[in-house]
């Protein structure tokens, strides 16, 4: 399991003019919000997992629980419906393993929608913090406002380290560098590497699926993208991404191979293995075609040597 936390969001959120620093910061915040929604909307909610998280928070961090939810849980404890055990009795190998203690929470979730939604909000908030590495200052308000928001699932997406997103918002990573790293990661996806070119990378830098969608950009965005189409500027930017350990790149004719893994030797190895596999496949296909032609020739009555024609 990776030691880093990642945010995933549609590349279209990179589509904005970057001359205004305040706007850039606001856009990065929108990227973070969209990444949270993208993550949560694709989660399968298991009620027992929700109840387990609520029980854990009640034992370990009761002050972090929503006031209304905490009030309901306290009433359940006072009535004897919910029994709070000593954490030492239910933590096994550092993990919470409650048994029937969850029954009261699960029962109330099944009959009280308001209580259930409060429990799910708490569960989602802790997932966002633990898995994405994002703490939202008003998660309840954010989730209630956006829980019916539809994420863009059928568009190119990018998955990038959470700390890199925060560093970009704080100005530690220049926006153009962040954009090109996002572009490359969106192109590579889950593959070990991908062959690409300047046109596609600069298009993804500005939130486009490909360079054919350039007309959807504003005039300012078009001018900014054109700035990076300059060979010198583009090479300088992508080389900075390589030098800072964000990506790996090796030339390939008029384009290049890129990888989200900065290990250059690994990229070279993977590319060579891929080329060898393609060569072997081509040789096998050529050999198969040759054998088929030979078979057809030997079994064609017109072209068979021993065939003789006679006139009546």
Mean pLDDT of 58-74: 90
CA 85/CA 308 separation, integer angstroms? 98
DSSP characters for 272-294? HHHHHHHHHHHHHHHHHHHHHHH
pLDDT top residue among 307 and 260: 260
User: Predicted confidence band at 246 (pLDDT cuts at 50, 70, 90)?
Assistant: very high
Mean pLDDT of 221-244: 93
Q: Note the pLDDT of residue 22.
A: 62
Between strands 194-196 and 95-96, the pairing is: unpaired
Residue 308 has pLDDT above 70, yes or no: no
Q: Note the pLDDT of residue 309.
A: 45
With H, G, I as helix, E, B as strand and everything else as coil, classify residue 152: coil
Of the candidates 233, 214, 229, 32, the one whose C-alpha atom is nearest the C-alpha of residue 135 is 32
Residue 87 has pLDDT above 70, yes or no: no
Residue 14 has pLDDT above 50, yes or no: yes
Angle between helices 113-127 and 67-79 (to 10 degrees): 120
Specify the residue for token string 């969608």. 213
pLDDT top residue among 64 and 160: 160
Residue 152 has pLDDT above 60, yes or no: no
Domain extent listing, the chain = 43-146, 157-266
H or E element at residue 3 = none
Mean pLDDT of 229-249: 95
pLDDT top residue among 179 and 89: 179
Instruction: Write out the two tokens for 61.
Output: 């961090």
**Under 8 Å between Cβ of 239 and 248:** no
Q: Note the pLDDT of residue 1.
A: 45
Of the candidates 169, 173, 161, 157, the one whose C-alpha atom is nearest the C-alpha of residue 5 is 161
Q: Note the pLDDT of residue 215.
A: 86
Mean pLDDT of 244-268: 93
Residue 259 has pLDDT above 60, yes or no: yes
| CATH number assigned to the domain covering 157-266 | 1.10.10
Mean pLDDT of 46-65: 88
Q: Note the pLDDT of residue 301.
A: 57
How many of the other CB atoms lie within 10 Å of CB of 182?
26
In sequence order, the 6+-apart residues with CB closer than 8 A to the CB of 208 are 11, 12, 15, 214, 216, 217
Q: Note the pLDDT of residue 99.
A: 65
pLDDT, mean over the chain = 84
Share of the chain above pLDDT 70, in %: 85
Q: Note the pLDDT of residue 280.
A: 76
Residue 8 has pLDDT above 50, yes or no: yes
**pLDDT tens digits, one per residue of 91-145:** 655 556 666 778 889 999 999 999 999 999 999 999 899 889 888 877 888 888 8
Residue 43 has pLDDT above 90, yes or no: no
Between strands 95-96 and 91-92, the pairing is: antiparallel
User: Predicted confidence band at 88 (pLDDT cuts at 50, 70, 90)?
Assistant: low
**pLDDT tens digits, one per residue of 187-208:** 999 999 999 999 999 999 999 9
pLDDT top residue among 305 and 131: 131
Q: Note the pLDDT of residue 97.
A: 62
User: Predicted confidence band at 17 (pLDDT cuts at 50, 70, 90)?
Assistant: low
């Amino acid at each position: 399991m990776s030691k880093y936390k990642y945010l995933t969001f549609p590349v279209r959120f990179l589509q904005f003019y970057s001359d205004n620093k305040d706007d850039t910061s606001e856009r990065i915040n929108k990227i973070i919000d969209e990444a949270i929604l993208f993550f949560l909307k694709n989660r399968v909610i298991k009620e027992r997992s929700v109840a387990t998280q609520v029980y854990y928070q009640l034992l370990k961090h009761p002050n972090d629980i929503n006031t209304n939810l905490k009030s309901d849980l306290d009433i359940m404890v006072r009535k004897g419906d919910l029994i709070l055990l000593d954490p030492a009795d239910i933590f096994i190998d550092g993990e919470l393993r409650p048994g029937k203690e969850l029954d009261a929470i699960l029962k109330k979730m099944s009959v009280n929608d308001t209580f259930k939604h409060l429990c799910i909000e708490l569960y989602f908030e802790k997932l966002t913090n633990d898995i994405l590495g994002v703490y939202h200052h008003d998660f309840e308000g954010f989730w209630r406002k956006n829980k019916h928001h539809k994420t863009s699932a059928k568009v190119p997406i990018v998955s990038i380290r959470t700390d890199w997103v925060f560093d970009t918002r704080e100005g530690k990573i220049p926006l153009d560098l962040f954009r090109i790293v996002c572009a490359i990661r969106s192109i590579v996806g889950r593959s070990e590497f991908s062959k690409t070119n300047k046109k596609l990378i600069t298009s993804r830098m500005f939130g486009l699926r490909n360079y054919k969608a350039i007309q959807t950009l504003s005039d300012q965005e078009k001018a900014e993208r054109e700035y990076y189409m300059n060979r010198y500027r583009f090479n300088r930017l992508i080389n900075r991404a390589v030098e800072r350990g964000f990506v790996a790149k090796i030339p390939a004719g008029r384009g290049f191979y890129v990888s989200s893994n900065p290990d250059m030797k690994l990229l070279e190895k993977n590319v060579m293995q891929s080329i060898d596999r393609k060569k072997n496949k081509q040789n096998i296909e050529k050999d198969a075609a040759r054998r088929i032609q030979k078979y057809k020739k030997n079994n064609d009555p017109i072209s068979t040597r021993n065939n003789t024609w006679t006139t009546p």
